[in-house]
Structure formats: C-alpha cells, structure tokens
Amino acid sequence: MAGKEKRPIIETRKLYKVYSLGENRVFALNGVDLSIREGEFCSIVGTSGSGKSTLLNMLAGLEKPTKGEIVIGGSHIEKMTENQLVKFRRENVGFIFQSFNLLGTLNSVENVALPLTFRGVKKEIRNKKAEEMLKLVGLSKQMKNKPTQMSGGQQQRVGVARALVMDPKIIFADEPTGNLDSHTSAEVMELMRRVVKEQHKTLVMVTHDNHLAGFADRIFHIIDGKIVKIEERENYREE
C-alpha cells in the first residue's frame, strides 16, 4: 500500500489538555498520539464531549496543550508564540467552521478573498482567485451574494472556498456539516473530498456522525480524550 510510505505531516506525542474548573480537573485530552500523512483525508469521530474539538484546535494552533508535542511539517507549534502561530496559520492552514463564520458585511468573493488580504495580495489578483475558488465549489451564480442571501449549504461552500484559497497544506474542519441537513451534508462532504484529492491537500475533519466520518481515508475514534481505534478505509469508493 503506497499510502503508508508517505511521510507524516502532523504528529502528536503524549498530548494532554487539562481544564481546571475549580476543584475539578477535566482531562479533555488524555495522552493523544497520532500521525497524519500528507495528502490524507482523516476524520476524528467521537461522542459529544470526547475532546474532538479540543484536539483539532490544538492541531490548528488555536489552543496550547497542557503537555505534549505537536509537530506539523517539522515544526513544533506548541512552542510558538501567538504571533508565530498567526503566521503559521496564514501560511499553512485553512479552517472550515461548523457555523460557517463568514463575515456578514462581505459578499462571497470578498469573504473568500479575505485570507489573501491578510497576506497582502493585490485586490485584482485576490478577487480573481476567489472567483476561481467559488467556481470550483459550484457557486458561480452567488459571487455577489452576502451570507444572509444564501442557504446554509451555499454558505459552507463559501467556507470551503475560503479555506482553499490560500492554497494551504492542511485544512481543518470542525463539524463542517453540523448545521446542514443530511442530503446537503453529503453534497458538501463529496465536494470537500473531491477538492482535497484533486489538490492534494491534507484534510482533518471532526464529526460525531459515523456515516460522515466514512467519507475519510482514515477514521480516528476518540473517547474521553484518548484515541481508541484507527480505521483504515483504503478501499474507499473503489467498489
């Protein structure tokens, strides 16, 4: 199997996250070791409160671990300062949110172009790129729409386009279809899978839905802050 030879792009070692709530200590992550390969589509599944979001946020550098190491593309992000993390995210990471998190004052093109703005890309170039991305996710007719003028599925497509526009190595998605009905969810999942495969991105997705997790190459099962099972889906959709 060729996939095994690929080098890991994300690795964690003995990752802990402990929240102290007064006397109580909550082990949101309880010693997570995982390794995600380049170009892979992984999903992290678990029940509510099992620590999925905590793990994803940590991988994306949005939260600091209590203990342990996170190595992404060779650099230890747990040691980075906030400024370095912002730069790291800007250069390597795309993010898809459950609640879309589009800026309500901007239209689709502007929303998608936003990450490029932070990179200092010229307006014409970033708008052109944003339009390309929107076409890719099938929104050629909604370029000028504000988020409130679109359906949830369309908004999340804008979210996907926004995550892709910077050409990041890794895309993190926290319950990207959590606010969508099952039919639309499947559509968005298909889209995400197609796009990351075409563009050779690494996609890490969090979900509590076993069916949606099944779109991935590998599935990490997490219970109470621990990875309990890794499911390989090498033969996905090859039937």
Partner 1 sequence: MKFFDLLSMSVSNLWRRKLRTFLTVLGVVIGTASIVVMVSIGIGMNRSMMQQIDEYGGLTTINVYSGDSYYGGGMAVAVSESGSSSGSQTEPVRLNDEMLQVLSGLEHVESVTPILSVDCLAKSGKYMANLSVRGIPAELLAQMNNMEVGQGTLPMPGDKELKFFYGNTVITDFYIEKTYQYYWETGVIPEIDFMEDPMYIIFDMDAYYASQYPSGDGTVTPPPKKYMVEACGVMAGDVEYYGANSSYVFCDLELLKEQLQRVFKNKAIPGQPTTATGKPYKEIYYNQVDVKVDDMDYMKDVQTQIQNLGLSASSNAEWIESQQESSNNLQMALGGIGAVSLFVAAIGIANTMMMSIYERTKEIGIIKVLGCDMRNIRSMFLMEAGFIGFVGGTVGILLSYGISFLVNYVASGQMGMAMGTGGAAEISYIPLWMPPVAIGFAILVGMLAGFFPALRAMKLSPLAAIRNE
Asked if residue 51 binds ligand ATP (CB under 6 A), the reply is: yes
| Least CB distance to ligand ATP at residue 108 (A) | 27
> Closer CB to ligand ATP, residue 24 or residue 235?
24
- Are 31 and 66 in contact by the 8 Å Cβ rule? The answer is no
Q: Which one of ligand ATP, Mg ion, partner 1, none interacts with residue 132, CB within 5 to 8 A by kind?
A: none
Q: Which stretch binds ligand ATP (CB under 6 A): 42-50, 72-80, 81-89, 163-171?
A: 42-50
Q: Tell me which residues in 26-65 interact with Mg ion (CB under 5 A).
A: 53
- Token look-up 């093109």 returns 109
Asked if residue 26 binds ligand ATP (CB under 6 A), the reply is: yes
Q: Tell me which residues in 77-106 interact with partner 1 (CB under 8 A).
A: 82-83, 86-87, 89-91, 93, 95, 97, 101, 103, 105
Q: Which stretch binds ligand ATP (CB under 6 A): 49-57, 119-127, 131-139, 147-155?
A: 49-57
Query: x/- site string to Mg ion, residues 182 to 211, per CB under 5 A?
Result: ------------------------------
Asked if residue 115 binds partner 1 (CB under 8 A), the reply is: yes
Q: Tell me which residues in 192-221 interact with ligand ATP (CB under 6 A).
A: 208
Q: How far apart are CA 73 and CA 81, in angstroms?
A: 17
Opening angle at CA 232, ends 227 and 233, nearest 5: 135
Asked if residue 54 binds ligand ATP (CB under 6 A), the reply is: yes
Distances (CA, A) of 140 to 108, 127, 232: 10, 13, 36
> Closer CB to Mg ion, residue 94 or residue 176?
176
Contacting positions for ligand ATP (CB under 6 A): 19, 21, 26, 28, 46, 48-54, 208
Contacting positions for partner 1 (CB under 8 A): 57, 60, 62-63, 82-83, 86-87, 89-91, 93, 95, 97, 101, 103, 105, 114-115, 117-120, 122-123, 162, 166
